């Protein structure tokens, strides 16, 4: 029997009360054989961690992680990516389907999950592709993947631009309460060469523009399809004020739509692109100040439901090109919580309970995990916990990342560096030394 007694932590629960829930506030937390137990039952053999001054949160969940395995193990593996996730406080990640081969079959999804179990740093839930090979022409094996527990499907990296195919996907997943997570990018308005927010800076730099309308119009179309099919739609990495307006309109109509925002879209702006540093090339692109303000407000008021990292590791030879030719994407797992604290908590836009809702409770609900993840800790549950020092800050050093890649947009910037312990599936998966 193993016992871990975390003494004196301030537990923030997200206010999501249910039977046997641990009380919020300062207390001791006992984890016995991986499950929460009454601290009064701790034995003399329990391993004790002094958590005085620390805060405990339900384990974080990332809805949007690129683990690159299989196919690009030079950029990331399931082991290295989940190790980085644990360092960032994540107890679970949803792994995007754009691997090589694509995760578009039940066998491929099961393989990803097995790799996660072997690594043991964070639970890995595969996201299935919507279409075979992400080609946008024919539905993938949605039903067979659902039989092994896959509930979220996405062609992320590609937009499901065919309205008929999108309708069929939404109709299909409704039978098992699945969700289609859309990369909203009209390919006719923002093609594969679009790499910078369309505006004064893209014109001055000579970079192909990515207009806000390319995102908002797809969200509006998909919202109508979600209404038509009475099915669940999730919008990936929302980046513009116009998209926020569409989300608010759709939610007001009772459409089953949820959305996520990335940490980098909450803090970085189009101005970062002016040095042509490909580290800041991301899809959708960084946007102007007014969009960042709208995204923060939407996350605060719930128009945007969750934070998701879009962690996108790349090998050096894929990033070290001229801006227009470099790969899209940046790292995010290890710094996500720090950026959210900096942009949303330290500015007074969120309180701690709402932060827990956006980083754990809502992601678990959207993904349909149906487990001990994404809910308030309760006696008897498997422990999923993130223990943090909310006052701790540090300059980010890309060289210290657990990821195999180094495309870190935060290198050299001082941010909250709060994660002290991550407990995933009942076991300590990260502990700061």
Q: Is 67 annotated as a binding residue?
A: yes
Q: Is 18 annotated as a binding residue?
A: no
Residue 24: closest CA among 431, 343, 291, 352:
352
Q: Is 183 annotated as a binding residue?
A: yes
Q: Which residues of 13-33 are buried (b: 16+ CB within 10 A; e: fewer)?
A: bbebeeeebbebeebbbbbbe
CB count, 10 Å around CB of 245? Answer: 16
Q: Is 264 annotated as a binding residue?
A: no
Q: Are 385 and 373 in contact (CB under 8 A)?
A: no
| Strand arrangement of the beta sheet that strand 257-261 belongs to | 152-153, 179-182, 232-235, 257-261, 306-307
Q: Is 230 annotated as a binding residue?
A: no
Q: Is 314 annotated as a binding residue?
A: yes
| Catalytic member of 104, 310, 372, 417 | 310
Query: Beta 123-126 vs 47-50: how paired, if at all?
Result: unpaired
Q: Is 234 annotated as a binding residue?
A: no
Q: Is 52 annotated as a binding residue?
A: no
Bridge partner residues of 125 (DSSP): 94
CB count, 10 Å around CB of 117? Answer: 12
Measure the CA–CA gap between 189 and 182, rounded to whole angstroms: 16
Measure the CA–CA gap between 394 and 392, rounded to whole angstroms: 7
Token pair of 301 as six digits: 């008021």
Measure the CA–CA gap between 355 and 367, rounded to whole angstroms: 18
Measure the CA–CA gap between 309 and 338, rounded to whole angstroms: 12
CA distances 315 to 74, 103, 329, 334, 409, Å, are 6, 21, 11, 17, 14
Q: Is 310 a catalytic residue?
A: yes
Q: Is 68 annotated as a binding residue?
A: yes
Measure the CA–CA gap between 211 and 307, rounded to whole angstroms: 23
Phi, psi of 331 (to 5 degrees): -70, 155
CB count, 10 Å around CB of 253? Answer: 11
The number of angstroms, rounded, from the C-alpha of 62 to the middle of its chain's C-alpha atoms is 3
Q: Is 310 annotated as a binding residue?
A: yes
Q: Is 87 annotated as a binding residue?
A: no
Residue set of the binding site: 64, 66-68, 98, 156, 183, 237, 283, 310, 314, 328-329
Which residues are documented as binding site for Zn(2+)?
Answer: 64, 66, 156, 183, 237, 310
Residue numbers belonging to the annotated binding site for substrate: 66-68, 98, 283, 314, 328-329
Mind telling me the catalytic residues? 310
């Amino acid at each position: 029997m193993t016992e871990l007694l975390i003494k004196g932590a301030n537990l923030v629960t997200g206010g999501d009360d249910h039977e046997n829930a641990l009380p919020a506030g300062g207390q001791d937390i006992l984890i016995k054989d991986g499950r929460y137990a009454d601290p009064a039952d701790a034995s003399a053999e329990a391993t004790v961690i002094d958590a005085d001054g620390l805060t405990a949160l339900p384990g974080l969940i990332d809805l949007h992680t690129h683990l690159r395995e299989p196919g690009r193990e030079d950029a990331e593996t399931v082991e290295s990516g989940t190790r980085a996730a644990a360092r960032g406080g994540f107890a679970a990640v949803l792994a995007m389907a754009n691997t090589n081969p694509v995760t578009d079959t039940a066998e491929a999804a099961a393989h990803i999950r097995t790799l996660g179990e072997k690594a043991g740093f964070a639970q890995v839930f595969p996201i299935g592709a919507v279409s075979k090979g992400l080609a946008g022409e024919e539905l993938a094996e949605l039903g067979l993947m659902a039989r092994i527990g896959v509930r979220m499907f996405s062609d992320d990296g590609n937009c499901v631009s065919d309205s008929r195919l999108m309708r069929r996907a939404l109709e299909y997943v409704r039978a098992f309460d699945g969700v289609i997570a859309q990369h909203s990018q009209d390919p006719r308005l923002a093609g594969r060469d679009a790499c910078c927010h369309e505006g004064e800076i893209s014109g001055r730099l000579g970079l192909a523009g990515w207009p806000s309308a390319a995102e908002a119009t797809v969200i509006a179309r998909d919202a109508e399809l979600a209404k038509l099919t009475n099915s669940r739609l999730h919008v990936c990495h929302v980046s513009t004020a116009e998209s926020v307006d569409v989300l608010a309109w759709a939610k007001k109509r009772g459409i089953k739509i949820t959305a996520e925002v990335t940490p980098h879209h909450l803090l970085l702006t189009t101005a970062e692109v002016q040095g042509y540093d490909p580290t800041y090339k991301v899809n959708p692109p960084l946007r102007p100040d007014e969009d960042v303000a709208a995204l923060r407000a939407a996350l605060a008021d719930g128009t945007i439901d969750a934070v998701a990292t879009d962690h996108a590791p790349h090998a050096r030879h894929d990033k070290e090109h001229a801006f227009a030719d470099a790969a899209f994407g940046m790292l995010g797992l290890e710094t996500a919580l720090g950026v959210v604290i900096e942009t949303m908590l330290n500015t007074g836009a969120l309180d701690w309970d709402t932060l827990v809702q956006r980083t754990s409770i809502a992601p678990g609900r959207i993904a349909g995990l149906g487990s001990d993840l994404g809910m308030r800790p309760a006696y008897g549950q498997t422990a999923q916990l993130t223990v943090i020092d909310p006052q701790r800050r540090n300059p980010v050093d890309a060289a210290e990342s657990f990821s195999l890649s180094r495309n870190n947009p935060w290198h050299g910037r001082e941010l909250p560096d709060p994660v002290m312990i991550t407990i995933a599936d009942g076991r300590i998966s990260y502990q700061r030394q």
